[in-house]
C-alpha cells in the first residue's frame, strides 16, 4: 500500500521534504503540507551543511545530524557520503564517545532494538517487534567497553547506530537491511545507576552463566528471525569479546570489529609502512602496548600474515611482544589469560622501556585506551635502531591516543611512520609535511560486510581479513606514501570498500565458504548493489 499525506513525511525512508515535486505532492496528498517551493536535493544538502557548520559544539552537530537521519534518510546519507572527511568525525569517533556519555539525556526517539535482561525467555518475541523483515546486518553491543570510555551501559547504543551509518555511507549497505541492538544486562557505572535520566537497567551487570545463557538465547533468536544476517559484536569487554568470537565464529556468520577489524586495518597500515621502511614483514619485530583483545587480535592476524609468507607459527610469535600494566608479558607469569598465553615471550620479567631497549622492535603499536603511554623516551629508543620507526597510537577517542602525531614526529625529528585510530591534523616539521594516517576501522568493516553479504559467505575467516588488509594497503598511492600517510583519503572510502568487497568475496569462494557461486562479473554485481541515496 502506497503511503500518502503525513505518513509519507513521517517515514525517513520515503520522505523527500521540500524536494517533492508539485506532481508528487498532488499524487501523494502533500499539497499544503509543505512550503510552496520545490528544493533540489543539492539545496537540502547545503542547508544541512550550513546548519552543522553554524553550531559551535560537536555534540550539537551530532544531534542535528541524528535528527536529519530520522527525518530524511537519503539527505543524511548524501551528506555523509559526499562530505565524509568533515562529517564522519561527527557521526563516529571522536564525537560519538561524548554522544554515548550523554545518550540518555539527549534521547529523542528510538533508533534500534533494546533487549534487556528481563526479556530473557522472550527474546525472539522482542526481535519480532522490529518492523523490517529483511535484516542483513546487525551491530550489537552490551555497552561494557565503549571505545576507551569504559562501561556506559545502555548509553552504548550510540555505537551500533554510528557503525551502521558508516556501513551505509562507506560501503553502500542499504539502511533498510541494518539493525542496531543494545543488550542491556546492567552496568557497573554507579553514576549512571544513580542518574535519574539514565534509561538502562539500574543494577550490576549479569555475569557468568546467566550472561552466557542470555547471549545464547539472543543468538538463536537472531538465527531464526534474521537467518541471512551478519552479526557484528561491538565494544564488549575483552573476556566476553574473545569468548563470544571463539564460541560463535564457526556456528554463524559473525564478526568482532574490535578484534578482527582493528587487526585488519592495523595490518594494512603495517603493509603500507613497509613501502617506507623497506623491511619485509617477515623480518620485522613488533611490540604492543596493551594485551587486550584489540592488541592480541592484531598480533594473531600479523602472525597468520607472516605464516602466509613462509614463517612457522612459532617463528611468527617470536617476532611479537606484548606489554601490559605489569610490564612485558612473559612465560614465567603466574597467571596468563588464554588470549595472551600464545604470545608470552621467553624473556625475563622487565618493564616496557627495558623491553623496548632489549627487543628492539621495528613497530610500536599502542592499543590501551590510555593516553601518554608512548613517551619521548620510547620514541627516541625506537629511533636508535630504526631509520623510520613505526609508531601506531590506535586508541579512541582522540583524547585516549597513546601519543599525538605531533609528538611522534617531533620526538623522532620527522622520521617516525605514524598512524592513529582517531584523526590528527597535518604536521609541519623540518620543512616537510607529514600527513598522519588514520587507521580507522571504517576502512575495513564496511567493505568486508559488503563482500560477505554480496558473495553469500557463510563464515568469516582470517584469510578474508588478510586480503582486506592487502587490498586496503594497495589503495595507498605513492604520493601518499611520500608524505608518510599509510591510508588512502577518506574521500575515496566508498571506492576502497568496493575493492575490498570484491577481494573478500573471491577469498570466501576460494575457501568454499559461499552458499552460491559468485556472479560471472562479481565486481559489477557488487557495485550495482551499493545503496544510492540520491532522489
Phi-psi region of 388 (alpha: psi -120 to 50; beta: other; left: phi over 0): beta
- CATH 3.40.50.10380 residue ranges of the chain are 95-252
In CATH, which of 3.50.50.60, 1.20.59.10, 3.40.50.10380, 3.40.630.30 is domain 95-252? Answer: 3.40.50.10380
What is the side-by-side strand order in the sheet with 363-366? Answer: 327-328, 320-324, 286-289, 363-366, 390-393, 417-420, 437-438
Query: Would you state the pLDDT for residue 269?
Result: 98
Query: Residue 295: pLDDT above 90?
Result: yes
9 has which bridge partners?
A: none
- Examine the pLDDT at 94 and tell me if it is beyond 90: no
Q: Taking 80 as the threshold, does the pLDDT of residue 1 lie above it?
A: no
pLDDT band at 109; cut points 50, 70, 90: confident
Q: What is the DSSP string of 285-325?
A: -EEEE--SHHHHHHHHHHHHHHHHTT--HHHHHHTEEEEET
Arithmetic mean of pLDDT, 490-504: 97
DSSP code string of 376-414: HHHHHHHHHH-SS-EEEE--SSGGG-SS-HHHHHHHTTT
Q: What is the mean pLDDT of the chain?
A: 96
Rounded to an integer, the average pLDDT of 499-507 is: 98
Active-site entry in 62, 76, 77, 163: 163
E strands of 33-190, at which residues? 113-116, 137-141, 178-184
pLDDT (mean) for 508-533: 96
- pLDDT classification of 393: cutoffs 50, 70, 90: very high
- 4 Cβ neighbours under 8 A, 6+ residues apart: 28, 29, 30
State pLDDT tens for residues 119-170.
999 999 999 999 999 999 999 999 999 988 999 999 999 999 999 999 999 9
Average the pLDDT over 342-357 and give the result.
93
**Residue 387, pLDDT above cutoff 80:** yes
Burial (CB count within 10 angstroms: exposed 0-12, middle 13-18, buried 19+), residue 167: buried
What class has domain 258-535? alpha beta
Residues 235-277: tens digit of each pLDDT: 999 999 999 999 999 999 999 999 999 999 999 999 999 999 9
Does the pTM exceed 0.75?
yes
Residues of the chain with CATH 3.40.50.720: 258-535
Active site residue 409: no
Asked whether the predicted pLDDT for residue 49 surpasses 90, the reply is yes
Of the candidates 77, 92, 487, 531, the residue annotated as catalytic is 92
**pLDDT exceeds cutoff 80 at 18:** yes
Residue 3 is a catalytic residue: no
Amino acid at each position: 500500500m502506497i503511503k500518502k499525506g503525513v505518513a509519507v513525511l513521517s517515514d525517513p525512508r520515503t520522505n523527500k521534504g521540500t524536494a517533492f515535486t508539485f506532481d508528487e505532492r498532488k499524487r501523494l496528498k502533500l499539497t499544503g503540507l509543505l512550503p510552496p517551493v520545490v528544493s533540489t536535493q543539492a539545496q537540502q544538502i547545503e542547508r544541512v551543511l550550513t546548519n552543522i557548520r553554524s553550531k559551535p559544539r560537536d555534540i550539537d552537530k551530532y544531534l542535528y545530524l541524528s535528527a536529519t537521519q530520522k527525518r530524511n534518510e537519503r539527505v543524511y546519507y548524501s551528506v555523509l557520503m559526499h562530505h565524509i572527511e568533515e562529517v564522519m568525525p561527527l557521526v563516529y569517533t571522536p564525537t560519538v564517545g561524548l554522544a554515548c556519555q550523554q545518550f540518555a539525556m539527549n534521547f529523542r526517539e528510538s533508533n534500534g532494538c533494546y533487549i534487556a535482561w528481563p526479556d530473557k525467555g522472550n527474546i525472539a518475541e522482542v526481535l519480532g517487534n522490529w518492523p523490517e523483515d529483511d535484516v542483513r546486518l546487525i551491530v550489537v553491543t552490551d555497552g561494557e567497553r565503549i571505545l576507551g570510555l569504559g562501561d556506559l551501559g545502555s548509553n552504548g547504543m550510540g555505537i551500533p547506530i554510528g557503525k551502521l551509518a558508516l556501513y551505509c555511507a562507506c560501503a553502500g549497505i542499504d539502511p533498510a537491511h541494518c539493525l542496531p541492538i543494545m543488550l542491556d544486562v546492567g552496568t557497573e557505572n554507579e553514576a549512571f545507576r544513580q542518574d535519574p535520566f539514565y534509561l538502562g537497567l539500574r543494577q550490576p551487570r549479569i555475569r557468568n552463566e546467566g550472561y552466557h545463557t542470555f547471549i545464547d538465547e539472543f543468538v538463536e533468536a537472531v538465527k531464526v528471525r534474521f537467518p541471512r544476517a551478519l552479526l557484528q559484536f561491538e565494544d564488549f569487554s575483552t573476556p566476553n569479546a574473545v569468548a563470544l568470537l571463539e564460541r560463535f565464529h564457526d556456528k554463524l556468520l559473525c564478526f568482532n570489529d574490535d578484534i578482527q577489524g582493528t587487526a585488519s586495518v592495523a595490518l594494512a597500515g603495517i603493509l603500507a609502512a613497509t613501502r617506507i621502511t623497506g623491511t619485509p614483514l617477515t623480518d620485522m619485530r613488533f611490540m604492543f602496548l596493551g594485551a587486550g583483545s584489540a592488541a592480541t587480535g592484531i598480533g594473531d592476524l600479523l602472525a597468520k600474515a607472516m605464516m602466509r609468507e613462509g614463517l612457522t607459527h612459532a617463528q611468527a610469535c617470536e617476532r611479537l611482544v606484548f606489554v601490559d600494566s605489569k610490564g612485558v608479558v612473559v612465560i614465567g607469569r603466574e597467571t596468563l589469560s588464554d588470549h595472551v598465553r600464545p604470545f608470552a615471550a621467553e624473556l625475563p620479567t622487565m618493564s616496557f622501556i627495558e623491553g623496548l631497549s632489549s627487543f628492539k622492535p621495528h613497530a610500536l603499536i599502542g592499543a590501551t585506551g590510555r593516553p601518554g603511554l608512548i613517551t619521548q623516551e620510547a620514541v627516541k629508543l625506537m629511533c636508535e635502531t630504526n631509520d623510520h620507526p613505526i609508531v601506531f597510537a590506535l586508541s579512541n577517542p582522540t583524547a585516549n591516543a597513546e601519543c599525538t602525531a605531533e609528538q611522534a614526529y617531533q620526538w623522532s625529528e620527522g622520521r617516525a611512520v605514524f598512524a592513529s585510530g582517531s584523526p590528527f591534523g597535518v604536521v609541519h616539521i623540518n620543512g616537510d609535511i607529514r600527513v598522519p594516517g588514520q587507521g580507522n576501522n571504517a576502512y575495513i568493516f564496511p567493505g568486508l560486510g559488503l563482500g560477505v553479504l554480496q558473495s553469500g559467505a557463510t563464515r568469516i575467516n582470517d584469510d578474508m581479513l588478510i586480503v582486506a588488509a592487502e587490498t586496503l594497503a594497495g589503495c595507498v598511492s605513492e604520493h601518499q606514501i611520500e608524505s608518510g600517510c599509510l591510508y588512502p583519503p577518506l574521500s575515496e572510502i566508498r571506492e576502497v570498500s568496493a575493492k575490498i568487497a570484491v577481494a573478500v568475496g573471491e577469498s570466501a569462494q576460494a575457501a568454499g565458504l559461499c552458499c552460491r557461486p559468485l556472479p560471472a562479473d562479481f565486481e559489477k554485481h557488487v557495485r550495482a548493489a551499493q545503496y544510492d541515496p540520491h532522489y
